[in-house]
Amino acid sequence: MLSLGNTYSKEELFDFDGRVKKGLGTDEYEYICELKFDGVAISLKYENGILQKGITRGDGSKGDDVTANIKTIKSIPLKIKGSSPARSFEARGEVFMPKEVFNALNRDRERDGEALLANPRSTASGTLKMQDSRIVAERRLDCYIYTYLDDENSFENHESSLKFLANAGFNVSPTYQKCKKINQALDYIKEWDQKRDMLPVETDGIVIKVNDISQQEELGFTAKNPRWAISYKFKPKSASTLLKRITYQVGRTGAITPVAELDPVLLAGTTVKRASLHNANEIKRLDVRIGDVVNVEKGGEIIPKITGVNLSARRGDPRPITYIQNCTECNSELIRKEDEVQHYCPNFQTCPPQVLGRIEHFISRGAMDIESLGPKTIKGLLDKELIHDMSDLYLLTFDQINNLQFEEFDEPTGDTVKRSIKEKTATNIIRSIEASKQQPFKRVLFALGIRYVGKTTAEKLANHFQSMDAISQASEDEITNVYEIGERIAKSVILHLQQSENLKIISSLQNAGLKFKTEEKERKTGKLSGLTFVVSGVFANYERDEIKNIIKEHGGRVASSISSKTNYLVAGKNMGPAKKEKADSLGINILDSLSFGKLLEND
Ligand code: IVH
C-alpha cells in the first residue's frame, strides 16, 4: 500500500492543485475531501461478497494476516449487503479504537494497577496483533473504510465507490465532502480543525482526492505517492503557559506521578490546568523549572503533555526541580525499583490515597459491586475513622452511619461542602454490604486489589486453585503453570500473600463470611486444559458461545481459526467447506456436539 504526500500549509496545497491542473490539462475536475483517520491501515479482500482476508500494512510493504481478529469487528461485514460489481474486490480503511473505549480501558487498567496505554492508535495496533480473538472482541475496535479497488474499474468516481461501500454495510465516515475548487477544501480544513475533537477517532489531518477515477489514472503515481491525492496535516494543538508548581499524585498502587500545575490555558476546546510530567526522568529531560513558560500539546495522547520550555522567556535563575524523596501524603520515603522509571510510596498499609483507592476498587462494579457506596462516602468513612481498610466495611452498623455528617471536597469550586448520610441511604448501604457476601470467590479475589490481578486473571486463578488456601500454598512455578499466567503476576500474588497487613485483611474478610472458595456448583474440571478448540457452524441445542464458554470453563482454549495447534474442531451445521478441508488436511479431530459432550463425561 502506498502512502500519501503531506502538506502543512495553504501554499503547499495550492501547489498541489496547480500540479493537478497541469497534469490534467484542464480545470474541469473535482475533489473529495476526507478526514485522515489515525488508526491502523487495513486491506480487506472479498470474494463473491464474502470476507476472505484482512491484512495490515505493517511497517513496510508486507502486512500481517489478522483475519481472525478483523472478524471480531462488528462494523466490518463478513458478507456484504446486496451484490458487488466485481467478483473480487478489496476495501481499504483504517482500524481504530474509539477514544471512549480507549479511555474506559485505561480507567480499568489504572484501577487494576496496570501500566497505562499510551494512545488509541498504538493500542489498536497492539490489539490487532493479539493471539486471543476473544480479547480483541472485548476491545470493541471499529473501522472506517475509504477505498474500493477491483480489476474491473467498476466505478467512475471515488464518490460513487464510497456510496457503494456504505450501502454494502461498511462503515464509511459521513464526514467526506465534494469540493469543486481547492478553496472549498480550505473551508473543509478550517471546519474540521475546529470540530475534530468531537469525532470518535483521532485525526491529524485531511486527505484530498481527485474524484474522477480516469483522471486519477491519468495523473498516476510518483515512486512513493499518488499524484491525485495529498494529505494536509493539522497543526498540533499547542499553547504556551506558565508552570506554577509541580504536585505529586499518589495512585492506588503507590505509583507517584508528577503533575504540572499550569496557568489555565485554552487548548483544543478545553481549558487545561494540569499536564502530566510522567516521572523524574521526564522532568530532567525537559529541564523544566518553576516559573517557566512551557509549551503544552494535545497529541494522540488524551492527557496534555509538556513538550518544551521557552528558555528565552526564563527570568532570573530558577533552580532545577529536586524530585520529592518522601510521599506527599504520608511522608514515607519513596522507593524506585532498578528497572522502573516510576517512584513508589511503599506504605500501602496507611498511605491515604492508597487505602482509599484500594477500597474504591474493592466496592467497584466487577469486584464486590457494593453499589450504594461511592468514593465520596468511602472518603467520609475513612475521615471519620469508621473504617481503616475494606474488611471494616463488614463491621459497620446502621446506627454508625445513619445521619453521619462528613465533609466533602468539591473539585470545581475548590470548596469543602458538608454532607450527611440519610436514613434511606444508610439502609441501602448496610443491605448492599451484606448482599456482597454472596459474591463468588473469583470476584473476592479480584476485589482484593492484588497488583496485576485483573478480572480475567482472578477468574483463571480461582478456577484453577479453587480456594484462597490453595493459592497461598502455591509456588511461583505452580502459579505460572496456569494457562496465560506469567511470572510477573505470580510474583505479585506471592508478595501480596506474604505481607502481614494483607493477611490480616483476608482473615477479617473470611470471618465476615465472604467466599474464599469456589462453590461446588461453579467448580469446573480442568479436563480440557492444554487443548485448543475451534467451534464453527450452527448447533441444534446450543448457542455457539455457550459451547465456547464450556470449553473455557473446563480449562480449554478457543481459537478462531484452524491451525496446526488446533486439537479439535467442534462442528455444527453450515460450517464453511474450507474449514472442514483444512481440518481434514491437518488431521484434526472433528466433533459434533454429542461427541463433544462425551469428551467432558469421560474420566
Ligand atoms: S487514502 C495511496 N484516505 O494515511 C494512499 N488514507 O499516508 C491512499 N489514511 O496508508 C490512502 N485516513 O493508513 C486515505 N481517508 C483516508 C485516510 C488514509 C487515513 C492513512 C492510511 C494511509 C496513510 C497515507
pLDDT at 366 over 90: no
Nearest-CA neighbor of 88 among 49, 50, 47, 44? 47
Distances (CA, A) of 45 to 49, 52, 93, 510: 9, 6, 12, 56
Cβ 73 under 6 angstroms from ligand 1: no
- Enter the C-alpha cell of residue 575: 460450517
**What is the spatial distance between Cα 418 and Cα 244, in angstroms, rounded to a whole number?**
30
Q: pTM (2 decimals)?
A: 0.58
**What is the spatial distance between Cα 53 and Cα 577, in angstroms, rounded to a whole number?**
16
Cβ 202 under 6 angstroms from ligand 1: no
**What's the CA-to-centroid distance between 145 and ligand 1, angstroms?**
10
Cβ 389 under 6 angstroms from ligand 1: no
pLDDT at 430 over 80: yes
Q: Which of 448-452, 525-529, 596-600 has the highest mean pLDDT?
A: 448-452
Q: Spell out a b/e string for 293-322, using b for 16 or more CB atoms within 10 Å of the CB, else e.
A: bbbbbbeeeeebbbeebeeeeeeeeeeebe
pLDDT at 110 over 80: no
**What's the CA-to-centroid distance between 41 and ligand 1, angstroms?**
7
**What's the CA-to-centroid distance between 281 and ligand 1, angstroms?**
35
Cβ 204 under 6 angstroms from ligand 1: no
**What's the CA-to-centroid distance between 123 and ligand 1, angstroms?**
19
Give alpha helix (H) positions in 259-371.
280-286, 352-363
Task: Report DSSP state, residue 555.
Answer: T
pLDDT at 301 (0 to 100): 57
Distances (CA, A) of 103 to 108, 110, 194, 228, 264: 9, 10, 22, 37, 23
Q: What is the pLDDT of residues 141-200, one digit of tens each?
A: 999 999 999 999 899 999 999 999 999 999 999 999 999 999 999 999 999 988 888 888
pLDDT at 416 over 90: no
**What is the spatial distance between Cα 388 and Cα 404, in angstroms, rounded to a whole number?**
17
Determine which residue's CA is closest to atom 22 belonging to ligand 1.
3
**What's the CA-to-centroid distance between 137 and ligand 1, angstroms?**
25
Question: Element (H or E) spanning 264, and its range?
Answer: strand 256-267
**What's the CA-to-centroid distance between 10 and ligand 1, angstroms?**
20
Cβ 503 under 6 angstroms from ligand 1: no
Q: Which of 109-118, 391-400, 409-418, 475-484 has the highest mean pLDDT?
A: 391-400
Q: What is the pLDDT of residues 516-540, one digit of tens each?
A: 999 876 666 678 888 899 999 888 7
Name the residue of 2, 34, 55, 94 to mutate for ligand 1: max ligand atoms within 8 A of Cβ. 94
Dihedral pair phi/psi, residue 330, rounded to 5°:
-130, 0
The residues annotated as belonging to the active site are: 36
pLDDT at 575 (0 to 100): 84
**What's the CA-to-centroid distance between 4 and ligand 1, angstroms?**
7
pLDDT at 595 (0 to 100): 83
Q: Which of 24-38, 81-95, 446-460 has the lowest mean pLDDT?
A: 446-460
Neighbour order of strands in the sheet with 6-7: 6-7, 229-233, 203-210, 31-37, 177-179
Q: Quick one: which atom of ligand 1 is closest to the CA of 209?
A: 1
Q: Quick one: which atom of ligand 1 is closest to the CA of 4?
A: 7
**Neighbour count for residue 48 (Cβ, 10 Å):** 11
Average pLDDT over residues 351-358: 92
**What is the spatial distance between Cα 245 and Cα 277, in angstroms, rounded to a whole number?**
12
Cβ 528 under 6 angstroms from ligand 1: no
Tell me the sheet residues that pair with 20: none
Cβ 539 under 6 angstroms from ligand 1: no
- Dihedral sign (CA 418, 424, 429, 430): positive
Name the residue of 7, 37, 61 to mutate for ligand 1: max ligand atoms within 8 A of Cβ. 37
Model confidence band, residue 117 (pLDDT cutoffs 50, 70, 90): confident
State in Å, rounded, how far the first CA of the chain is from the last one. Answer: 53
**What is the spatial distance between Cα 487 and Cα 292, in angstroms, rounded to a whole number?**
44
pLDDT at 597 (0 to 100): 79
Cβ 1 under 6 angstroms from ligand 1: yes
**What's the CA-to-centroid distance between 36 and ligand 1, angstroms?**
6
Nearest-CA neighbor of 348 among 260, 451, 258? 451
Cβ 33 under 6 angstroms from ligand 1: no
Cβ 509 under 6 angstroms from ligand 1: no
Please say whether the beta carbons of 110 and 116 come within 8 A: yes
**What is the spatial distance between Cα 165 and Cα 147, in angstroms, rounded to a whole number?**
9
Nearest-CA neighbor of 240 among 340, 175, 309? 309
pLDDT at 413 (0 to 100): 62
**What is the spatial distance between Cα 474 and Cα 382, in angstroms, rounded to a whole number?**
34
Determine which residue's CA is closest to atom 6 belonging to ligand 1.
36
Give alpha helix (H) positions in 368-499.
375-383, 398-401, 423-435, 441-447, 455-465, 468-473, 476-480, 487-496
Length reported for the chain: 603
Model confidence band, residue 514 (pLDDT cutoffs 50, 70, 90): very high
Q: Which of 232-241, 284-293, 589-598 has the highest mean pLDDT?
A: 284-293
pLDDT at 299 (0 to 100): 63
Model confidence band, residue 232 (pLDDT cutoffs 50, 70, 90): very high
Tell me the sheet residues that pair with 40: 95
Output the average pLDDT for the chain. 90
Please say whether the beta carbons of 288 and 296 come within 8 A: no
Question: Element (H or E) spanning 6, and its range?
Answer: strand 6-7
Determine which residue's CA is closest to atom 18 belonging to ligand 1.
36
**What is the spatial distance between Cα 408 and Cα 511, in angstroms, rounded to a whole number?**
32
**What is the spatial distance between Cα 16 and Cα 8, in angstroms, rounded to a whole number?**
12
Name the residue of 146, 149, 177, 201 to mutate for ligand 1: max ligand atoms within 8 A of Cβ. 146
Determine which residue's CA is closest to atom 12 belonging to ligand 1.
36
**What's the CA-to-centroid distance between 92 and ligand 1, angstroms?**
9
Task: Report DSSP state, residue 573.
Answer: B
**What is the spatial distance between Cα 378 and Cα 389, in angstroms, rounded to a whole number?**
10
**What is the spatial distance between Cα 397 and Cα 426, in angstroms, rounded to a whole number?**
9
Task: Could you list the beta-strand ranges (E) of 223-255.
Answer: 229-233, 237-250
Tell me the sheet residues that pair with 36: 205
Model confidence band, residue 467 (pLDDT cutoffs 50, 70, 90): very high
- Enter the C-alpha cell of residue 219: 495523473
Determine which residue's CA is closest to atom 9 belonging to ligand 1.
36
Nearest-CA neighbor of 190 among 167, 179, 206, 174? 206
Written as one letter, the residue type at 410 is D
- Enter the C-alpha cell of residue 149: 479497488
Q: Which of 126-140, 227-241, 277-291, 299-313 has the highest mean pLDDT?
A: 277-291
The two beta strands, 532-536 and 568-571, are parallel
**Neighbour count for residue 488 (Cβ, 10 Å):** 11
Dihedral pair phi/psi, residue 454, rounded to 5°:
-80, -170
Nearest-CA neighbor of 464 among 401, 530, 410, 418? 530
C-alpha R_g of the chain: 29
